[in-house]
């Protein structure tokens, strides 16, 4: 999906994001997502990612309630890298 133009939202903390993230991901820590809703696209799917999938699952529930087409990235950044997909520091 990422290669098809999906928008990736990384909801981890600053140090986690700096250590390695999906190329091109938008970084908004979980606690700041409500203040950044206007920065998220409404015309395409938003892939939400964290380290393991727990925080991103909660953010997905919130975003869906706001009308955003959001999905949780299973396994988080660990799962992403485990599939052989790139991360950048």
- Which residues of the chain are modeled with pLDDT < 50? 1
pTM beyond cutoff 0.75: yes
User: DSSP labels for 19-74?
Assistant: H-B-TTPEE--GGGGGGGGGGS-SSS-EEEE-SSSHHHHHHHHHHHHTT--EEE-T
pLDDT given for residue 51 in this prediction: 94
Catalytic positions? 50
User: What pLDDT, on a 0 to 100 scale, did the predictor assign at position 29?
Assistant: 98
* pLDDT of res. 6: 78
């Amino acid at each position: 999906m990422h290669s098809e133009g999906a928008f990736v939202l990384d909801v981890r903390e600053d140090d986690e994001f700096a250590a390695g993230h999906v190329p091109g991901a938008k970084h908004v820590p979980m606690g700041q997502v409500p203040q950044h809703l206007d920065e998220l696209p409404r015309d395409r799917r938003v892939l939400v990612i964290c380290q393991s999938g727990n925080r991103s699952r909660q953010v997905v529930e919130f975003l869906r309630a706001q009308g955003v087409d959001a999905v949780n990235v299973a396994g988080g950044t660990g799962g992403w890298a485990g599939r052989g997909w790139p991360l950048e520091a």
